[in-house]
Structure 1
């Protein structure tokens, strides 16, 4: 059984940063981020899992 999580693509962008911060402030803990580059250090601690890669990579997403 899989647990529910929120996947934020483009996590290093302005909207991604704002969304991660807002969800974390609402005590949402299962935040998974995805971006082509590593997540910025100032928000990386807010995500429960950080994925680096392309959304089109099915092996990465599964």
Structure 2
């Protein structure tokens, strides 16, 4: 069995709360961030995330894939 990478999943990453949360978690440098949003993130925000996914939190297949790849 392949070990899944531990991450913090932030949905709505491009929104006001997601933006603030990414900045705060990135400051601590002890978290790997997986950002999920309907639109691509601005580069200033995307650069703080280890992975960026453009997609819908209501997409069951997408979430199943993320859960299989990452330990969220």
Q: Structure 1 or 2: larger helix share?
A: 2
After superposition, the CA RMSD in angstroms is: 1.1
What TM-score do the two structures reach when normalised by structure 2? 0.78
What TM-score do the two structures reach when normalised by structure 1? 0.89
> How many equivalent pairs are there?
62
Mapped to 1, the partners of 2:30 and 2:37 lie a distance apart of 20
After TM superposition, where is structure 1 displaced by more than 6 Å over at least 4 residues in a row?
none
Which has the higher Rg, Structure 1 or Structure 2?
Answer: 2
Gap runs ≥5 in structure 2: 66-72
